[in-house]
A and B are shown apart, each in its own frame.
Chain A
Amino acid sequence: AQSVTQLDSQVPVFEEAPVELRCNYSSSVSVYLFWYVQYPNQGLQLLLKYLSGSTLVKGINGFEAEFNKSQTSFHLRKPSVHISDTAEYFCAVSEGRQAGTALIFGKGTTLSVSS
């Protein structure tokens, strides 16, 4: 069965510093990987996704992630964070590309950016 582990529950960082949010997954088949962001009292917004091709994926708001098959990881990075990046971040995995294949989520990482 597939699973997702987000290694850090909370990541505090100063504004304009770089950040990496870590995600590892477990699956016996090829997977599709996603990062979502959730602001307070909001739903989840898709940041970026890896389906195939280049292992470095660029998303919205200056975020990027790198798929590493040998390490079964999909870490999220941003070279310089803003106060507005403070939010909950979720890594998710899907084993199928058909409609109706649900995403399995990690527990989330709270990113807190301070000045």
Chain B
Amino acid sequence: ETGVTQTPRHLVMGMTNKKSLKCEQHLGHNAMYWYKQSAKKPLELMFVYNFKEQTENNSVPSRFSPECPNSSHLFLHLHTLQPEDSALYLCASSQGASGAFFGQGTRLTVV
């Protein structure tokens, strides 16, 4: 069992659908993150949560809506996405300066 678990691993959705990505960490970390990884681009930081409070929103469009009900769970709610939103979405957690631990990612395809 990995320390950070993401579900689903793959998701295909239409532009009018609503779906959610889930992330759960079993490491006792206080900070959680969403990153977007597109082909030929560096990893883009989307959101940061620290002790369940959002501390950073990196100019992400409102069609992406994060939710952090507790320090162990993080969601990314998706609605009315565009084809250019197709990417690998990575969740990570950290504690202090130990470095972030990543999940396996959700491969999202918007059709």
Contact of B30 among A36, A41, A90, A100 (CB under 8 A): A100
The winner among B4, B94, B99, B102 for most chain A CB atoms within 10 A is B99
B99 touches A102 (CB 8 A): no
Where the two chains meet, the residues of B that have a C-beta atom closer than 8 Å to any C-beta of A are: 4, 6, 29-31, 33, 41-43, 45, 48-51, 55-56, 90, 92, 94-105, 107
CA distance in complex: A103, B99 (Å): 8
CA distance in complex: A27, B48 (Å): 20
Bitwise interface map of A from 31 to 42 toward B, beta carbon under 8 Å scored 1, else 0: 010101000011
- Segment among A11-19, A67-75, A76-84, A104-112 that sits at the interface with chain B: A104-112
A100 touches B49 (CB 8 A): yes
Q: State how many angstroms separate the Cβ of B27 from the closest Cβ of chain A.
A: 12
Residues in A whose Cβ lies below 8 Å from that of B30: 99-100
Contacts A42-B104, A100-B30: A49 and B55 contacting too (C-beta < 8 A)? no
B48 touches A103 (CB 8 A): no
A90 touches B96 (CB 8 A): no
B50 touches A99 (CB 8 A): yes
**For the complex, would chain A's binding face be called helix, strand, loop or mixed by DSSP majority?**
loop
Q: List 18 A-B contacts (CB under 8 A).
A: A41-B107, A42-B104, A43-B6, A43-B103, A43-B104, A44-B100, A46-B99, A46-B100, A46-B101, A49-B98, A94-B97, A96-B97, A98-B97, A99-B31, A100-B51, A100-B94, A101-B31, A103-B100
> Size class of A's contact patch?
20 to 34
